[in-house]
Structure 1
Amino acid sequence: MSQVIDIVSLYPKDMNIYGDSGNVLTIQRRLALYGYEPRVHAYNQGCDWPEHVDMILGGGGQDTGQKKIIDDFFQRADLLRSLAADGVPMLMICGLYQLFGEYFETVDGSRLDGIGVIGAYTVGQETRMIGNLTETSADFGKIIGYENHSGQTFLRDGVQPLGTVEQDGTGNNGEDHTEGARVHNVIGTYMHGSLLPKNPAIADFLIRTAVERRYGTFDPAAAGQTDAQRAALHRIDEIADRARRVAMSRPR
């Protein structure tokens, strides 16, 4: 019997810029090559919430996209907080990273509340932080991506960043050399790219965590992984490695 993993793609209609949908495709493909059966639920405002959730993936969006989803997002706030506290692995990019924090204060002083999963707040600024970026993470090594945001995000004391950046004017706020955040099994980051195709270590963290929560162990052999699937996964990892090296060599 196949082992199903249920993945929620959160607001793909309005929160999906710079190829963030590639994160969903990467998880879907890697799960299948590990021998599991990925089941993707595209959740947009007004949709029914799926019965079972093993992982949630959310992308970035423009201000108009955030405004479109915000009412529905707050209707799901308690559920999302509960799932996060229960250890469900999640990846939130850019706009949804901000909304998973405490609030976003715009340049003109208006305030958009978040749902407080991540102890962080964001303040708008006139200057955008934009360009290729490499950060260093204790758990995932070098993380490769592309940032494009004007909001400065500041982590509360005790909140773990996803990684650190060397260059001023990059990362969460351009000042403290942090990028992203990790709370429970939730990862928030400004890294587009899309992120997961070039960073399989993060993809596999999300996958392993989801599988272990649902089935107790992560065991591709028991899940029915074939030699052909194992070889295909190896080829994908080789491609990712080449893409990472090219991306790291590019100027900002």
Structure 2
Amino acid sequence: MSGQERAVDAEDVPSPAPSKGEVHLVHLYPKEMSIYGDLGNTRCLAARLRWHGYTAVVHDHHPGAPWPDRVHLVLGGGGQDSGQVRVQDDLDVHADRLRELARDGMPMLMICGMYQLFGKAFITVEGLRLPGLGILDVTTRGNAKRMIGPVLLETEVGTVVGYENHSGSTVLGEDQAPFGRVRYGSGNNAADGTEGARSHEVFGSYLHGPILPANPALADALIATAAKRATGDFVPGEVDDTFAVQAHQAQVTRLSPRSGRR
């Protein structure tokens, strides 16, 4: 096992039950594009996979590194404009691969900066245009005003909570579905009531927090798709989500009385 690949089960007391199989996660650019705690999404998925009875193997993909032989789920996080520039060349190298995986139904979660790079283009405040992968039909333009604060969404996987902190204003293409509809917060652009984008099993969002620990239903939706790709089926385990549900509901309760978007 290379230094960039780690079986997460080794960090904890192993379950007496045999593993249901290995699920391989790729975290794109954890140094350059994970400055807002989005590494917590990878850790959350690895922990939940273990609780469901699977072995999680995490591959940290850095610029210039070879692509792993086995991949069942891909994650990316937020970063500054400079971080996006640093990963651009490597992203170009793997662009066709990622587009094909997306078309094939690979589950992916891209947050903030990586969400922008999975779109058609990101134009920085200085006017530098960074071409995106075009997996999501969104275009983002940087601006001086930041959108910061808690967010409450309605999505296909239920109510989702999180925290946004971005200056990019994102517009969806005509046929692009959003990830969710904003009940509280700014979302993509503080104007049209949308947040994020979804195509096939690719989710893009501005929500940090990180997003997955307080939204176990979303985490398990990604896990189910990944486990089916890895083993042919998803057999859930008995997971105690008491604290996650309490954290989720506390944010829903706090934000629900506040109507409208900021």
Higher relative contact order at CA 8 Å, sep ≥6: structure 1 or structure 2?
1
Q: How many residues align?
A: 238
RMSD: 1.6
Residue number in structure 2 paired with 1:147: 164
Residue number in structure 2 paired with 1:177: 193
Structure 1 residue 246 and structure 2 residue 246: aligned?
A: no
Structure 1 residue 162 and structure 2 residue 166: aligned?
A: no
Match of 1:153, SS? strand
- Measure, in 2, the Cα distance between the counterparts of 1:33 and 1:144: 23
- Measure, in 1, the Cα distance between the counterparts of 2:217 and 2:235: 17
* Percent identity (aligned): 49
The letter of the residue matching 2:173 is: R
- Measure, in 2, the Cα distance between the counterparts of 1:76 and 1:180: 23
Report the TM-score when normalising by structure 1.
0.90
- Measure, in 1, the Cα distance between the counterparts of 2:125 and 2:83: 18
Match of 1:164, SS? strand
Q: Which runs of 5+ in 1 are unaligned?
A: none
Residue number in structure 2 paired with 1:217: 233
By how many angstroms is 1:213 displaced?
2.0
Query: Which one of the candidate residues 73, 77, 85 is aligned to 2:91?
Result: 73
The letter of the residue matching 1:158 is: D
Residue number in structure 2 paired with 1:63: 81
The letter of the residue matching 1:153 is: T
- Measure, in 2, the Cα distance between the counterparts of 1:131 and 1:102: 26
8 Å Cα contact 2:120/2:136 also seen in 1: yes
Decide which moves more: 208-217 or 22-31: 208-217
Residue number in structure 1 paired with 2:13: none
Q: Which runs of 5+ in 2 are unaligned?
A: 1-17
Query: Which one of the candidate residues 79, 84, 88 is aligned to 2:106?
Result: 88
Residue number in structure 2 paired with 1:7: 25
Task: List structure 1 segments (4+ residues) > 6 angstroms apart after TM superposition.
Answer: none
The letter of the residue matching 2:225 is: T
Residue number in structure 2 paired with 1:35: 53
Residue number in structure 1 paired with 2:39: 21
Match of 2:84, SS? helix
Match of 1:160, SS? coil
Q: Deviations over 1:116-149 (max 9, x none)?
A: 0001101122211110111111x22211000011
Q: Deviations over 1:200-220 (max 9, x none)?
A: 111101000011123222124
- Measure, in 1, the Cα distance between the counterparts of 2:27 and 2:129: 26
- Measure, in 2, the Cα distance between the counterparts of 1:187 and 1:14: 20
- Measure, in 2, the Cα distance between the counterparts of 1:107 and 1:58: 22
- Measure, in 2, the Cα distance between the counterparts of 1:241 and 1:214: 28
Residue number in structure 2 paired with 1:51: 69
